[in-house]
Amino acid sequence: MRISLQREAGTERLPVYRQIAEQIRSEIEAERLAAGERLPTIRDLARSLRVHRDTVALAYEELASAGVVESTVGRGTFVRANGKTNGATPHEFHPELSPIAEKLLDLERSRPRFGSAGEAVPMHSLVPAPSLYPADAFRRVLNRVLTEGGAPLFQYGGTQGHPRMLEVMAAHLRKAGIEIGADGIILCHGASQGISLALRLFAASGDVIAAEEPTYQNVLSAAAGLGLRTAPIPMREDGLDLAVLERTLARPEVKALYTLPTFHNPIGTTSSLEHRRALLAIAARCGKPVIEDGYEADLRFAGKPVPALAALDRSGLVIHLSSFSKSLFPGVRIGAIAARGRAVDALLALKAASDLSDAMPLQAALAEFLAAGEYDRHLARLRRVLLERRDAVLAALAEHLPAGARWTTPEGGYQIWVELPEGIDTRDLLADAVGAGVLFAPGSQFNHDGRASRCLRLSFAMADAALLRRGVAALGRVLEARLGAAARPAAVHI
Amino acid sequence: MRISLQREAGTERLPVYRQIAEQIRSEIEAERLAAGERLPTIRDLARSLRVHRDTVALAYEELASAGVVESTVGRGTFVRANGKTNGATPHEFHPELSPIAEKLLDLERSRPRFGSAGEAVPMHSLVPAPSLYPADAFRRVLNRVLTEGGAPLFQYGGTQGHPRMLEVMAAHLRKAGIEIGADGIILCHGASQGISLALRLFAASGDVIAAEEPTYQNVLSAAAGLGLRTAPIPMREDGLDLAVLERTLARPEVKALYTLPTFHNPIGTTSSLEHRRALLAIAARCGKPVIEDGYEADLRFAGKPVPALAALDRSGLVIHLSSFSKSLFPGVRIGAIAARGRAVDALLALKAASDLSDAMPLQAALAEFLAAGEYDRHLARLRRVLLERRDAVLAALAEHLPAGARWTTPEGGYQIWVELPEGIDTRDLLADAVGAGVLFAPGSQFNHDGRASRCLRLSFAMADAALLRRGVAALGRVLEARLGAAARPAAVHI
């Protein structure tokens, strides 16, 4: 079998693993490799081609999924009997995908897989459990709105969003101290679309966005999906590192800061008023805009509110993102961007170029749901539940986690950040944890480069207090087994 | 100065610092506090209101950044001379926008503005009129689905889409001859999002997408919004120019073809089976994928169906886009992408990076709407209406348009393309047409470079037959006035 690789960079060449797969495929089609014949081992082929073994493994995987070869553990990889590419499967055209699509596929492969975790307590995800949703109340409002609004609600609704929801959203933000009118709001398809739009507003392929590390993992994939790079700003006790921020924003290729000052994801903490003022002063000095993600802003259940960055800014420095995915339910797919000046027009143009407009029936219903006070009533209930859950998790952590573990005490939102002793890679704990009965989010997925982390994020979005206690106890057992130490912690809070 | 604070918790009240700021602002606006007057010191006001000094400081800061007061270190805080809140503009920060955002703003500015066209017959837009929507039937299905499905329907629904809608969509496409299973479908937020995702699948910033000229104007802005360039393939009597296509796809920087073979937008015609086979052969020879936009595929009201490109392709060369925006209503915001092989995974990764997932309630309802036969019943009614309208427009064109005008005879969809004698720029007719009582889409907006065109697109999506006749008559008057000739046309059809 002869394989020759084009290795020099260039947009025209196929990825190396695809080159290998394509050439093996040709050998089979030309019947130079017969059905039943064994391919070289991954190790041998990697050595002879001077490529990494993962590259060969990927090539074999692609051939296997196309039905051209099959692998048997311990025996090797064999050409299939009907191993013609147009035999088993008719999909012989493999278009070259954009580098961004390839990058996203790589990212996707590196995400933790929870599989069917069965009975394990779900503490890995920030998606609130359906039992918390006011689904029936919302359904009734939606049905009423559609009965009254009729067919025109099924029109395109204008790129900015449903007029009444724009008004209601602006009033909602003003109550939180963000001075904005309906003309400064762009409704969007979840805060996740808001993130994509805000990134594209300031940055184009090759540019850099500053963001905390750790940070919301989907911001990293959103940036990758736009061909952007990210610059990590380390998190400190009180918010991101301001000195690193100033150095980073001063770089011309860095176009904006993405930040989660309130109920930070994954850390759970909220930066102080003083820190926020300093952050805004730095951004203003560097002339760089700030994208503030207020995705859990409505979920404060303890402590005193700290004004949003957007509430402290009158200059148009801050783009503020809101979401109802965490505070109501994700399925309504409504988020909002609050902006000023030309940014509003540009965001509308970007939104129009992305998907024209959103679904008006859901926006119209959400507007009524808020205006009728249903949302506030729901929030009041939800906050009580969350406070109880947080306290259950904190108590269980103090009881079950070994010495040397530390964790945060959030005043809102769903997530607690746990730091374990040096030397642990929390990815390595995941399989044991699933076995012991708990799921968590390993810290590595929140690092810009995906490197190992001794931290993990626990969420109380999905399970109730009793289950959460059981989950933390399971985590404690896994850690004790791993650390070989049953010492109780000194409950040092970060 | 009298300030009264609401202190009890409650979602309705403003934060205390905002209450203070708002009341001082009112005092100034009512001129009970005059320009130059000094406000109490922070310490004094905090003591008298029994709030923390930070709270008062925050209120003063807010007033200062709104330009209402100014502080001088060591002297105090004073009402500004022009201290009306609408006096000084507080939005002094103008962030640098990305080149793509600037480009989209330019495109936006060049779009025709129809303003409040009053009584003019709307023949400019392909958006069907709400009177055609089966809104009530859909509302009932939606309400039932939500009653039965309950809270879980308000979860994230998975990036691919609602499982039942995936099945129903695949079955719908198979009926049209496109051999695909539910695992080859990605539901998306209107076909417009499908276009964005498909473009990003194959092309990155700086790459080129081939597309017909004229073409759907939003594809041009979607491409611009992604930093892509487009290469025009001229339209001929039977589909796009195949020779130009082959030369264009052979260029390495051209990554894919976007095409509208059925009920072309804006031209309205459908390419022949022979043309489709030739197009696919060229794409295969050049190794370049094809993005087929089947946005009006369900709207055939005359003639014999021609198989979609995706129905003629078994190799994975074609990505097929579907939409319910034209055939049902746009407000449901549901489109679908049909793809094969790795493209499916990559599209899912792109969709996840864009906005995670769509609104499940609407997808679940649409699935039932299709499964119950409601969609087919609606289509049968809609096709009858469209055929009647098309014939009304064709007859009116023959009656009212001057010699030298030619037009197409679509067998489905909403649009007719009218070619006027040399020397006319249809943009120049628009103002007169609005005055005469008709709106149309000037041909220039469908050209890749926006250059002048002697063509225009007439739509019968929004107005009924009687209004359409009146609209075409108005167009005829405008043209006669412009051309100074009242000769009747020889009704040469393109």
Q: Cα separations (Å) of B482 from B280, B401, B431, B479? A: 43, 12, 12, 5
Cα A419 to Cα A407: distance, rounded to the nearest angstrom: 6
Cβ contacts of A292 on chain B, cutoff 8 Å: none
Site from A333, A376, A384 to mutate, B interface, most B CB atoms within 10 angstroms: A333
Per DSSP bridges, beta strands B438-439 and B121-122 are: parallel
Q: Note the pLDDT of residue A89.
A: 45
Distance from CA of A40 to the nearest CA of B (A): 25
In this predicted model, what pLDDT tens digit does every residue of A16-41 receive, in sequence order?
777 888 888 888 887 788 888 888 88
CB–CB contact A201 B101 (8 Å): yes
Q: How many angstroms away from the CA of A488 is the closest CA of chain B?
A: 38
All residues of chain A having their beta carbon less than 8 Å from the beta carbon of residue B287 are 93, 95-96
Question: Between chains, do B332 and A359 touch, taking CB under 8 Å as contact?
Answer: yes
Task: Tell me if B139 and A147 make a contact (CB, 8 A cut-off).
Answer: yes
Q: Which member of A91, A127, A136 has the closest CB to residue B156? A: A127
Nearest to B124 by CA among B479, B427, B483, B466: B427
Q: Which of A17, A25, A104, A132 to mutate to test the interface with B (most CBs of B within 10 A)?
A: A104
Q: How confident is the model over B301-339, as pLDDT tens digits? A: 999 999 999 999 989 999 999 999 999 999 889 999 999
Nearest to A141 by CA among A361, A342, A353, A408: A361
CA nearest B204 in A: which residue?
A98
- Asked if B278 contacts B312 with a C-beta cutoff of 8 angstroms, the reply is no
Nearest CB partner across the interface for B135, out of A154, A177, A201: A154
Q: Which amino acid is at B138?
A: F
pLDDT of residue A36: 81
- A-chain CB neighbours of B143 within 8 Å are 139, 142-143, 146
Segment B354-378 shows an average pLDDT of 93
Out of A25-34, A230-239, B260-269, pick the least confident.
A25-34
Identify all chain B residues contacting A142, using CB atoms and an 8 Å cutoff.
142-143, 146, 361
| Conformational region of residue A50, where left means phi above 0, alpha means psi within -120 to 50, and beta covers everything else | left
Question: How much is the average pLDDT of A44-54?
Answer: 83
How close, in Å, is residue A421 to chain B by CA atoms? 33
Instruction: Tell me the C-alpha distance between A387 and B282, whole Å.
Output: 63
Amino acid at residue number B261: P
Å between A89 CA and nearest CA of chain B:
9
Q: Find how far residue A121's CA is from the centre of its chain.
A: 20
Contacts for A448 with CB less than 8 Å, ≥ 6 apart = A211, A213, A215, A220, A230, A231, A232
Tell me the chain B residues in contact with residue A96 when contact means C-beta distances shorter than 8 Å: 202, 255, 287
Q: Which of A98, A353, A362 comes nearest B222 by C-beta? A: A353
Size of interface A-B (CB pairs under 8 A): 331
Inter-chain touch B359–A255, beta carbons under 8 Å: no
Q: Which two tokens stand for residue B300?
A: 């055939």
List pLDDT tens digits, range B21-51: 888 888 887 778 888 888 888 888 988 888 8
- Of the ranges A374-378, B88-92, B387-391, which one carries the lowest mean pLDDT score? B88-92
Q: Which two tokens stand for residue A304?
A: 């005193």
Q: Between A450 and B89, whose confidence is greater?
A: A450
Q: Which of B388, B441, B384 is CA-nearest to residue B415?
A: B441
Least confident of A140-144, A434-438, B188-192, B406-410: B188-192
pLDDT at A492 exceeding the cut of 80: no
Q: In this predicted structure, what is the pLDDT of residue A425? A: 94
A362 token code pair: 């859901």
Q: In the predicted model, is pLDDT for residue B14 greater than 80?
A: no
Q: Maximum distance among all alpha carbons in chain B?
A: 89
User: Across the interface, do A255 and B98 touch by the CB < 8 Å criterion?
Assistant: yes
| Nearby residues of A20 by Cβ (< 8 Å), 6 or more positions away | A3, A5, A45, A49, A51, A55, A56, A59
Residue whose C-alpha is closest to residue B405's, from B428, B423, B387, B427? B423
Q: Which of A97, A110, A138, A217 should be substituted to probe chain B, the one whose Cβ sees the most B Cβ atoms within 10 Å? A: A97
Nearest to B342 among A94, A203, A353 (CB): A94
Contacts of B323 in chain A (CB under 8 A): none
What's the mean pLDDT in A432-461? 96
Q: Provide mean pLDDT across the span B454-461.
A: 98
| Chain A neighbors of B12, CB-CB under 8 A | 175, 376
Confidence of residue A260 (pLDDT cuts 50, 70, 90): very high
- Best mutation target, B139, B148, B220, to test chain A (most A CBs within 10 A): B139
State yes or no: pLDDT of B478 exceeds 80: yes
d(CA A222, CA A220) in angstroms, rounded, equals 5
Average pLDDT over residues A152-176: 93
* B333/A357 CB distance under 8 A: yes
Model confidence at B168: pLDDT above 80: yes
Alpha carbon distances (Å) from A350 to A128, A177, A195, B224:
30, 27, 12, 10
* Whether the predicted pLDDT of A361 surpasses 60: yes
Q: Give dist(CA A63, CA B157) in Å, integer.
A: 31
Give the pLDDT score at A8.
66
pLDDT band of residue A115 (cuts 50, 70, 90) is: low
Contacts of B157 in chain A (CB under 8 A): 331
Q: What one-character DSSP code corresponds to residue A341?
A: T
pLDDT band at B86 (very low <50, low <70, confident <90, very high): very low
**Shortest CB distance from A193 goes to which of B12, B221, B354?**
B354
Nearest CA-CA distance, residue B119 and chain A, Å: 19
Quote the minimal CA–CA distance from A123 to chain B in Å. 16
- Tell me which chain B residue has its CA closest to the CA of residue A152: B130
Confidence at residue B242, expressed as pLDDT on a 0 to 100 scale:
97
Per-residue pLDDT for A88 more than 50? no
Cβ–Cβ gap B204/A99 under 8 Å: yes
Percentage of chain A exceeding pLDDT 70? 93
Beta strands in B382-469 (DSSP E): 406-407, 415-419, 438-439, 441-442, 455-459
A-interface mutation test, from B100, B124, B255, B319, most A Cβ less than 10 A away: B100
The upper half-sphere exposure of residue A459, i.e. CA atoms within 13 Å in the direction of its Cβ, equals: 23
Hey, are the CB atoms on A358 and B104 less than 8 Å from each other?
no
| pLDDT at residue B115, as a whole number | 61
Confidence of residue B64 (pLDDT cuts 50, 70, 90): confident
Taking alpha carbons only, the member of B469, B40, B188 closest to residue A355 is: B188
Going by C-alpha positions, the residue among B286, B282, B219 that lies closest to residue B253 is B286
- Residue B175 or residue A80, greater confidence: B175
Burial string for A209-247 (b: 16+ CB within 10 Å, else e) reads: bbbbbbbbbbbbbbbbbbbbebbbbebeeebbbbebbbb
Beta carbons of B459 and B467 less than 8 angstroms apart? no
pLDDT at A73: 67
| Residue A189 or A215, more confident | A215
- Residues in A closer than 8 angstroms to B100, CB to CB, are 200, 204, 350
pLDDT of residue A91: 53
Higher pLDDT, B82 or A313: A313
Kindly tell me if the per-residue pLDDT of B223 is higher than 50: yes
d(CA A481, nearest CA chain B) in Å:
35
Average pLDDT score, chain A: 90
- What's the pLDDT score for residue A292? 98
Global pTM reads 0.80
The pLDDT score that the predictor gives to residue B62 is 79
ipTM score of complex:
0.78
Q: Of A389 and A156, which is predicted with more confidence? A: A389
Q: Calculate mean pLDDT across residues B415-421.
A: 97
Digit-coded pLDDT (tens) for A291-304: 999 999 999 999 99
Q: Give how far Cα A111 sits from Cα of A392, A440, B81, B274, Å.
A: 29, 13, 59, 46
Mean pLDDT lowest among A478-487, B94-103, B296-305: A478-487
What is the overall mean pLDDT for chain B? 90
List the beta strands (DSSP E) in A195-328. Answer: 208-213, 229-234, 254-259, 290-293, 318-323
Across the interface, whether the CB atoms of B317 and A255 are under 8 A apart is answered no
What confidence score (pLDDT) does residue B8 get?
67
What H or E segment, with its residue span, contains residue B293?
strand B290-293
Report chain B residues whose CB lies below 8 A from the CB of A287: 93, 95-96
Q: Say if the Cβ atoms of B135 and A142 lie within 8 Å.
A: no
- Chain A residues with CB under 8 Å of B316 CB are 91-95
**Are the Cβ atoms of B222 and A151 closer than 8 angstroms?**
no
- pLDDT one-digit tens code per residue, A374-418: 999 999 999 999 999 999 999 999 999 999 999 999 999 999 999
Closest CA to A381 of A137, A125, A127, A122: A137
pLDDT bin (cut points 50, 70, 90) of residue A338 is: very high
What tokens does B119 get? 């009584």
Strand order through the sheet with B441-442: B406-407, B415-419, B455-459, B441-442
- Does B447 have pLDDT greater than 50? yes
What is the rounded distance in angstroms from the CA atom of residue A90 to the CA atom of residue B345?
A: 18
DSSP string, B4-35: ----S--TTSPPHHHHHHHHHHHHHHTTSS-T
Note if the bond before B307 is cis, omega within 30 degrees: no
The pair of structure tokens assigned to A281 is: 């002063």
- The whole-number pLDDT of residue B82 equals 61
Let me know: does B249 contact B294? Beta carbons within 8 Å.
no
The winner for highest mean pLDDT among A10-19, A34-43, B10-19, B420-429 is B420-429
